[in-house]
A = this chain, B = another copy of it.
Amino acid sequence: MTFWTTYPQLAKQLDIVHDTMTGAIKVKNPQTQQAILSLLASGGKMLRPAYLLLFSNFTTLDEDKKIALASSIELLHTATLIHDDIIDKAETRRGVPTISHLYGNEVAVYAGDYLFITVFKLMIKHALDMSNLSKRIDAMETVLNGELGQMNLRFNTKQTISDYIENISGKTAELFAQACAASLFADGQMILAKRAYDIGLNIGIAFQIMDDYLDYTAKSQTFGKPVLTDIKQGIYSAPVLFAIAADTKVAELLAQEAYDQIFTIIHETDALDKTYALAKKHTDIALKLIHKLPDNPVKSDIYMITKTLLERQL
């Protein structure tokens, strides 16, 4: 977890989150158990639990509850990754082979299902009340509907940037929004929770745009995920949409699967600059909202981490 070396206190908490997640996995099938544990061990930046823990400094929740909430949000994220990898027929994730690739769809479907149930168990154990729990489930529905909404627009070259933002709001940003707001909701601080939610939403939107940006700039081996997977499956992210707007040939080239030419156009037009500017716009909204948070030693950490995400190379 080198990402967090400058935040030793947070790094320590994230280690406990990691142990809590690992301890929550008790699958009867040894292959599935091992597959989930390997995926958890392969890391990832653990951004969502990190934001949850950072924002929990504004609450009166005890440490156990904070850790449980942080674990449940990362487990939910992990469950969606496993099912996404089935759908994308992805062979690697975070540079290691995916569960579906290693053990087949069978293990991957059940592993994801199992994690969903584990998430619910953690949620129920630590939810404030039924109404709070109900809101968390609605959020899960939003995440899933984001994935499903994305399917509607596949191979649609007429979709707008605002369609794209709506999709990534559900698919990616909702989980960041929940990460920022969940502890405040659980603490009954509804007004601050709503503000934290908006911060998380913009962080998540910026994060996904940067992900899509880096797909076209980072090297495949560094990124740990094959570039072009999305475009071949008809998922047109910001760089592609800006290229379509810049050059009318692009829509046609997509139909012809002339990916090399599209790549060249993305790099030769202003498509990547506009993509970066869009990510910066949403980062700036988040930073302004973070600035308005109540005074707390953790405020500057939240600010710096959010800024760093825009500047990351992978």
Contact = CB atoms under 8 A, between A and B. Distances in A.
Contacts of A114: 141, 144-145, 148
A117 B140 contact: yes
A216 interface: no
Nearest to A133: B124
A109 interface: yes
Which of the listed residues A32, A117, A130, A138 has the most CB atoms from chain B within 10 Å of its own CB?
A117
A94 interface: no
A151 B86 contact: no
Interface string A124-164: 11010010011001101100110111011000000000000
27 contacts: A27-B148, A28-B148, A28-B149, A28-B152, A29-B148, A29-B151, A32-B148, A83-B110, A86-B105, A87-B105, A87-B106, A87-B109, A87-B110, A105-B105, A110-B147, A110-B148, A113-B116, A113-B144, A114-B145, A117-B140, A120-B120, A120-B137, A121-B138, A121-B141, A124-B134, A125-B134, A130-B130
